[in-house]
Chains A and B, each alone.
Chain A
Amino acid sequence: MKYLEDFQNPELAAGLLADIRATVTRPWALMEVCGGQTHTIIRQGIDQLLPEEVELIHGPGCPVCVTPLEVIDRALAIAARPEVIFCSFGDMLRVPGSDRDLFRVRSEGGDVRVVYSPLDALKVARENPHREVVFFGIGFETTAPPNAMAVHQARKQGLRNFSMLVSHVRVPPAIEAIMTSPDCRVQGFLAAGHVCSVMGTGEYPELAERHRVPIVVTGFEPLDILEGIRRTVRQLERGEHTVENAYARAVRPEGNPAARAMLEDVFEVADRAWRGIGVIPRSGWRLSPRYRDHDAEYRFDVTGITTREPAQCRSGEVLQGLLKPDQCEAFGTTCTPRTPLGATMVSSEGACAAYYLYRRLSTPAVPREASPVG
């Protein structure tokens, strides 16, 4: 059992919890969309502190987790080429492809480099004019504008040796897919705060109205999450379904207009496959045809690489909120952060990793880790 003393401001947390308890009269299932929120919830034991009527379902908001296996295999094929310097964010290194990961490619001689920012990859391209520099562009609406800027700058600076393998995803179509699934139990959403700091809240009122579901924009700190839950439960109890912004210090209704304009210039909306879930219509971005020169998929002709996902990993069900990580028979036995079956266990934002690291299992299958993944 977790204690309120673990919170930065225990009195405020206690007040929010008391308010949730006083408001709730029947069972409600809420989904937190962002993987960062999932980690806060599990680490602080927020789900265990809530009244039993309030159930939190973990959403698909971990960019590493939802990147399909075939995209990882395409990345590995490009990274293994001798003329290529492959640049990636660090959390992709240990994501398993069909038979290896980027870390293994590097140990086999591939030139794989970790960058903090996509602009670092541009620098690598400037410094290595005779090599092909490829950046692995994954992530949600928060990461897409920085990656779009890198492509835009490459064009502006005439860096012909820079290209990007793009697998960006968008949150609103994922919410749509979850709400239209026949198994859907979600009655309210805690929307991902940082996604909204870029995109604003304009895409949500229509979703909230059509599915009669409250959507509350929520940050990822413990008190932010309690406040998001409080507001969502209050709406549900009153029979309301509006969009509320509980993260106003970082989210303006219009988001970041400059970032949104760059997204529109560099990318175009496209259907995207999500790992374990399948194709969700219009749920992602790809480079627009005007930037095809910088599209690694075409430059290295990897579009033909297609991969079927293994059946033993049930991360697709976890990502849709249909299965809790510890309900999977592989959890903590054949699947651990050291030997992951899927990305939800290896990613620092994955729901399975959060359960493995922080969940106090009543009968732990294996000794718990002391150090974080990633």
Chain B
Amino acid sequence: MCLAVPGRVVEIAERDGARMAVVDFGGVVKDVCLEYLPDLRVGEYAIVHVGFALQRLDEESARRTLDLFAEIGLLQEEFGDPWEAAAAAVREEQQ
């Protein structure tokens, strides 16, 4: 939960009174709040944590981190279905 994932801003729009963006995390796309990095632009990369862009990141380090996260399964952990994981754990316990 505390790890943040780099993503690329695809689109920016005002929504529900907040500056929001669509951000691409190596194929997974999420809504992200830009209130803490209001001058972030389309095409730029940022470190995103629980739906908030927290700091700008250069493209090369962003891509390197994303590749590493994909390789070690962290993207699945961050964006996968937690109910499924919890249910699987319970099933194994009961066996």
What residues make up the interface of A, taking CB atoms closer than 8 Å to B?
8, 34-36, 43, 61-64, 89-91, 93-94, 103, 114, 116-120, 122-123, 126, 139-140, 142-143, 145-147, 149, 153, 156-157, 192, 194, 197-198, 220-221, 249-252, 256, 258-259, 262, 337-339, 348-349, 372-374
Contact = CB atoms under 8 A, between A and B. Distances in A.
Closest 3 CB pairs of A and B: A117-B51, A90-B82, A146-B52
A338 B1 contact: no
Contact of B49 (A146, A156, A157, A252): A146
Given A140-B2, A156-B17, A149 B86 contact: no
Contacts of A118: 50-51
Interface in B5-62: 16-18, 30-33, 35-38, 47, 49-52, 54-55, 57-58, 61
A123 B35 CA distance: 17
B2 A256 contact: no
B3 A119 contact: no
A143 B50 CA distance: 7
Contact of B52 (A36, A145, A157, A372): A145
Nearest to B3: A36
Interface of B: 1-4, 16-18, 30-33, 35-38, 47, 49-52, 54-55, 57-58, 61, 64-65, 67-68, 71-73, 77, 79, 82-83, 85-87, 89-90, 92-93
Given A43-B72, A143-B2, A349-B2, A197 B47 contact: yes
A146 B51 contact: yes
16 contacts: A43-B72, A63-B1, A90-B82, A91-B82, A119-B18, A119-B51, A120-B51, A142-B54, A146-B51, A156-B17, A198-B55, A249-B61, A259-B54, A349-B1, A372-B73, A374-B82
Contacts of B2: 34-36, 61-63, 139-140, 142-143, 192, 194, 349
